[in-house]
Every structure is written in structure tokens, then in C-alpha cells.
Amino acid sequence: MSLYELLRGPLLWLAFGVFIGGMVVRIILFFTLSTKKDKPIYRFFSWKWLWLSIFHWIVPLNQTAKKNPITTTVGFLFHICLLVTPLFLLAHGVLWYESWDISWWSLPESTADYMTLIIIGCGIFLALRRIFLPYVRVVTTAADYLLLGVTLAPFVTGYLAYHQYFDYNTVLLLHMFFGELMLVVIPFTKLSHFLMFFFSRAVTGMEFGRRRAPSW
């Protein structure tokens, strides 16, 4: 079995398995812990406060966004492109169809190309921000830089492979490896916030709703 077949076959399945299984465990542990520590919150479950809390942080109109408009804009562009680009990339769509006969709408290649550059540019901005802003640097660890590198690596190698810079086969293998590596590390690192954010904000929203609810 060639390295390409290994990365596209067993290792890909393993990466998806670790990613999905790890995230399921994270969600179960989150609710197990929150129901023990903040059990009264769930007595005041409210879809209204749940969605208001999530909406408040998804839409860049909160106080934090107003105080840091540039960082907020970069952060939103980074996260949106980070999620949308790999899901709707034409080349990935072809692989999904060839492997599992699943197909969906794809981004125009030029759009995906620009979005990849946005991800790389935003990633560089976030790295420089950690380096040069004292109040950010003081809470930054080596792991933060490493995670940012792991996040950017699939997009950098994907961009190089698409434009066929350097040796195409080598860059493609690196792209596949880093993509699978990112899937594997997500459940065990801060990268899990892309999903856990919604659950934590939902519980926070219900907590505020409970405090505003009548005492009776």
C-alpha cells in the first residue's frame, strides 16, 4: 500500500473516528459536569436565552467587538473561511463523491483560492498579535503557536498543491497528513471550541435567563 493510499484510506478513517468520537466524549463530559455543578440552570431551560446568548457572540456587535474592531473582523473572517473552505472545496467534493457517492454544492475554485489566502493572512496576523501585544503575549504559550501552525498547515500545503509549487506529490501528501492531524488534535485542544462554543454559550444564556426569571 502506497503512502497516498494509506493517508486516503486507513489513516483518514482513523482521523475521522478520533475526531467524531473525541467530540462526542467532550460533549458528554461537558453536560455531565454542568448538570452536577449547575443543575438548577436546566430547570429554567429557555430556547430564547439559549439563542440570544449564541447570537450575541456570533454577531460582531458586542462590546468586545466594538473595542477591538480589527481583531474581531480578522477573527470572523478567519473562522468563517476556516469552516467553509474545506467543506465546499471542489477537490474535496470530488473525493467525497468518489469515496462515498456523496455530493453537494462546491465553491468556485477562484473563490476558494482567495479564501485560503485570507485564512493564511489572518493566521499570520493572529500570530503577530500574540508576539507583539504584551497583554496577549503574557497569556500565550508554545502550545498556542503550535496549534495555530497545525491549523494553517493544511491550507498552506493545499494552496501550494493547487498551484503546483514545489514537488506536487510531496506537497499533496503533506496536505493530507496535516489535514488528518488537525482532525485528530481538535477534540483534545482549544480547537474544539469551534463546536463546544455553542454548548457553553447555551448554558451561559440559560444562566442569565435564570437570574432574570421571577424568584417564584
140 in any annotated domain: yes
Query: Quick one: pLDDT at residue 215?
Result: 41
Residue 1 placed within a domain: no
Residue 30 lies in a domain: no
In a domain, 121, yes or no: yes
Number of domains within the chain: 1
Consecutive 10-residue runs of the chain (216 residues): their mean pLDDT?
A: 82 91 89 71 63 67 69 87 85 71 79 93 94 90 92 94 90 93 92 79 64 44
Going by C-alpha positions, the residue among 57, 59, 102, 108 that lies closest to residue 85 is: 108
pLDDT value, residue 87: 84
Is there a domain that residue 2 lies in?
Answer: no
With CA atoms as reference, report the closest residue to 19 among 7, 29, 11.
Answer: 11
Residue 164's domain comprises 67-206
pLDDT of 119: 95
Rounded to 5°, the CA angle 59-65-67 comes to: 160
Q: Any residues with CB less than 8 A from the CB of 207 and at least 6 apart, and which? A: 38, 41
Examine residue 22 and state whether it is found in any structural domain, yes or no: no
Domain membership flag for residue 57: no
Q: Is residue 24 part of a domain?
A: no
Answer yes or no: are the C-beta atoms of 180 and 186 closer than 8 Å: no
